[in-house]
Amino acid sequence: MDMTNNAIPADAEIEGVPAEAEMQPVDESVDTSPRLVITGETILYVVIFVLALVLRLPNLGSFPLTAAESHEALAAYRAVIPEAAGNPITPSQPLMFTFNAIALTIGGADNATPRLVTVILGALIVLMPLLLRRWIGVTRALLLSSLLAISPVLFIASRSMSGAVWSLALVLISIWLTARFIETARAPFAIAATIAVAFLVLMAEPAGFVIALGLVVGIAFAVYTTEDSDGVLRNTISEARRAWPATQAFPIAALALIVVGTVFLIHPSGLAGIGELIGRGLGGIFRRPDGLPPAYPLLISLVYEPVLWLFGVLGVYFIAHDDLEASNGVARFIGRLLIGWLLFSVVAGLVYAGAGADHALWFTLPLAGLSMFALEKVFSPIRDFFWNPPAWGSYLHAVGVVAILAIMTINLMMFGTTVIGLDMTIFAPSVTGQGLDLFLIGLVVGLTLIGFVLVNAIWGPRNAPLILILGGAITLFLIARAVVPLLTPEFMQQMNVQSWFRLVFVLLSSALLVITYFLIGSTWGPGTAWRGLGLGSFLFLAAFSLSAGWRTAVLNADNPADLWHVNVAGRNLNLIENTLREASLRSVGTPYDMDITVQIPTADADDTPVAWIVRRYKKTRFQTEMNESVTTRAAIAFKTDPQPTLGGTYVGQAFSAAFTWDRSTMLLWDVIPWLYDRQVRYQPTASQPMILYLRSDVYGLDPSTTFPATGGEQPSSQPARP
Residue 391, pLDDT score = 80
CA distance 21 to 17: 7
Where b means 16+ CB within 10 Å and e means fewer, 553-577 reads bbebbbbbbbbbbbbbbbebbbebb
Residue 494, pLDDT score = 61
CA distances 530 to 386, 514, 516, Å, are 17, 11, 11
Q: How far apart are the first and last CA of the chain?
A: 75
CA distance 590 to 582: 9
Those residues of the chain that have pLDDT short of 50 are 1-23, 26, 326-327, 428-434, 436, 705-722
CA distances 539 to 64, 405, 426, Å, are 34, 10, 41
CA distance 567 to 544: 25
Residue 488, pLDDT score = 62
**What count of other Cβ atoms lies within 10 Å of the Cβ of residue 133?**
16
CA distance 385 to 389: 8
Residue 16, pLDDT score = 43
Question: Which pTM value belongs to this model?
Answer: 0.83
For residues 273 and 90, is the Cβ–Cβ distance under 8 A?
A: yes
* Spacing of C-alpha 533 from chain mean position: 28
Q: Which string of DSSP letters, residue by residue, matches 682-697?
A: S--EESSEEEEEEEHH
Angle between helices 296-304 and 526-550 in degrees, nearest 10: 120
Upper half-sphere CA count for residue 465 (Cβ side, 13 Å) = 2
Residue 142, pLDDT score = 93
CA distance 158 to 118: 6
Q: Which string of DSSP letters, residue by residue, matches 498-516?
A: HHHHHHHHHHHHHHHHHHH
**DSSP category for residue 386:** T
Residue 430, pLDDT score = 43
Question: Is residue 597 helix, strand or coil?
Answer: strand
Upper half-sphere CA count for residue 128 (Cβ side, 13 Å) = 23
CA angle 359, 79, 98 (to 5 degrees): 45
Angle between helices 306-320 and 526-550 in degrees, nearest 10: 140
Question: Is residue 365 helix, strand or coil?
Answer: helix
Helix H or strand E encompassing 634: strand 634-638
* Spacing of C-alpha 197 from chain mean position: 21
Residue 21, pLDDT score = 42
For residues 659 and 558, is the Cβ–Cβ distance under 8 A?
A: yes
Residue 622, pLDDT score = 92
User: Which residue stretches of 262-305 are H helix?
Assistant: 272-283, 296-304
The arrangement of strands across the sheet holding 685-686 comes to 568-569, 658-660, 685-686
**What count of other Cβ atoms lies within 10 Å of the Cβ of residue 312?**
30
Phi-psi group of 585: left, alpha or beta (phi > 0 → left; psi -120 to 50 → alpha; rest → beta): alpha
Strand 596-599 and strand 634-638: pairing? parallel
Name the residue type at position 426. I
Sign of the Cα torsion 453, 456, 461, 465 reads negative
CA distance 22 to 384: 52
CA distances 112 to 398, 568, 706, Å, are 40, 16, 42
Question: Is residue 660 helix, strand or coil?
Answer: strand
Helices first, then strands: H and E counts in the chain: 28, 8
For residues 292 and 566, is the Cβ–Cβ distance under 8 A?
A: yes
Residue 17, pLDDT score = 42
Residue 9, pLDDT score = 45
Instruction: Please state the three-class secondary structure of 642-657 as a single string.
Output: CCCCCCCCEEEEEEEC
Residue 645, pLDDT score = 85
Annotated domain spans of the chain: 40-282, 386-555, 570-699
Question: Is residue 190 helix, strand or coil?
Answer: helix
